[in-house]
Homo-oligomer: A and B are copies of this chain.
Amino acid sequence: MRPTTKDLAKAAGVSLATVDRVLNERSGVRKKTVDAVNEAIDRIGFVRNLSAANLARQRIYRLAFVLPEEGDEFLGALRGNIDEAQRSFALQDIAIECITTPASDPYRTAKIISDLQGQGFDGVAVMAPSSPQVRDASLRLSHAGIKVVGFVSGQQSQGDIGFVGIDNRAAGATAARLLGRFTVDRTGSVLVITEAMQAQDSVERRLGFDRVLGANFPNLVALPSLETHGRPDRTRTIIENAFTYHRDIMAVYVMASEGRQALSHLAKMECDASRVVVAHERTAFTEALLRDGTLDAVIAQSPGHLVRSAVRTLRARIDGNEPIASQERIRIEILIRENLV
């Protein structure tokens, strides 16, 4: 049986009241007594029973996810998993809310994040394009005692602000290796399509991609990234132009997480069956393309894992614990037709 506060009081030679004062960092205890209690905690291996503590203090953890308002399937999957988490974590006294921001406007996004202070949140997961405004707003929240993690995209961890998501440079590198090996020794160029290169994620992915392609596949030359800006017409035009001007495109890397438009166009063109196409994120759409052979591989991160990991990380930080590192490391998954399960 685990030692209780009562055991701890006995071990430290003080009363329950004093143990309580020390554990909850209340004032009015001499340093010497505090030390004695802490020593006893180590000695007998006391660990606070968080269930009982939360029961007693009627605590609920209030968490918020800050998400961009626009996005297609991957964002939808995240939202769906947040809904699911809402239900399953409710049993553990964790209340989750979703807050939407205009991703393209860093000022309003930062304002929304700042305004979270004073609303009673214990932790916030922020998914927003990195910008000085957003970064400062996050840091302010953090200094105000609210735990903050970057979520999926935007800057990696910084100061007290952790990050839950993949290493996008490694993701780009992974894409390059697969694409290179699948393309074999054929010589030609690689089309790289993204939504907007000002996004930090795209920059990282491109860096990783170029590094591995350059170092290992001299037969392939990656073209400058084409940016769709999420506009269907533009997407179509740039892809068609690319194929007109570059007749030696051996492979396509759809770098954006939301690559539906670009992929539908590529699928419709369906010219050379041997052309290698790699994209990001598992959605019903990319699954279908993997199955029909349009896509050769998908680099993915599990939205369910992302959401649960963010919740657990925030919860651990609120409780002052360390999250389990191995559980919270988001894997860069490689999906091909056979391991869609």
A299-341: CB near B (< 8 Å → 1, else 0) gives: 0001011001000000000000000101101011111111101
- Given A84-B324, A177-B337, 13 extra CB contacts under 8 A: A51-B54, A51-B93, A81-B326, A170-B338, A173-B338, A174-B339, A176-B338, A181-B296, A184-B184, A212-B338, A332-B341, A334-B334, A334-B336
Q: Name the CB-closest residue of B to A182.
A: B181
**A273 interface residue (CB < 8 Å to B):** no
Q: Assess whether B88 is in contact with A324, with CB atoms less than 8 Å apart.
A: yes
- Each complex incorporates copies of this chain amounting to 2
A–B pairs, 17, beta carbons within 8 Å: A47-B90, A51-B51, A51-B93, A55-B55, A170-B338, A173-B338, A173-B339, A174-B339, A177-B338, A181-B182, A181-B296, A208-B338, A305-B327, A332-B338, A332-B341, A333-B339, A334-B334
Interface range for A:
35 or more
- Contact A304/B327 with A47-B91, A90-B2, A91-B50 known, Cβ cut-off 8 Å: yes
In residues 173-220 of chain A, which contact B (Cβ within 8 Å)? 173-174, 176-178, 181-182, 184, 208, 212
Q: Name the CB-closest residue of B to A329.
A: B341
Which residues of B lie under 8 Å from residue A269 when comparing CB positions?
A: none
Q: Assess whether A326 is in contact with B338, with CB atoms less than 8 Å apart.
A: no
**A167 interface residue (CB < 8 Å to B):** yes
Q: Assess whether B336 is in contact with A333, with CB atoms less than 8 Å apart.
A: no
Q: Name the CB-closest residue of B to A184.
A: B184
A285 to B116, CA, bound (A): 47
**A52 interface residue (CB < 8 Å to B):** yes
Which residues of B lie under 8 Å from residue A92 when comparing CB positions?
A: 51
A50 to B54, CA, bound (A): 12
Closest beta carbon of chain B to A60's beta carbon, Å = 8
Which residues of B lie under 8 Å from residue A308 when comparing CB positions?
A: 327
In residues 82-109 of chain A, which contact B (Cβ within 8 Å)? 84, 88, 90-93
A184 to B219, CA, bound (A): 16
A308 to B47, CA, bound (A): 21
Closest beta carbon of chain B to A280's beta carbon, Å = 13
A173 to B338, CA, bound (A): 6
Partner of A170, one of B84, B93, B341: B341
Closest beta carbon of chain B to A43's beta carbon, Å = 18
Which residues of B lie under 8 Å from residue A182 when comparing CB positions?
A: 181
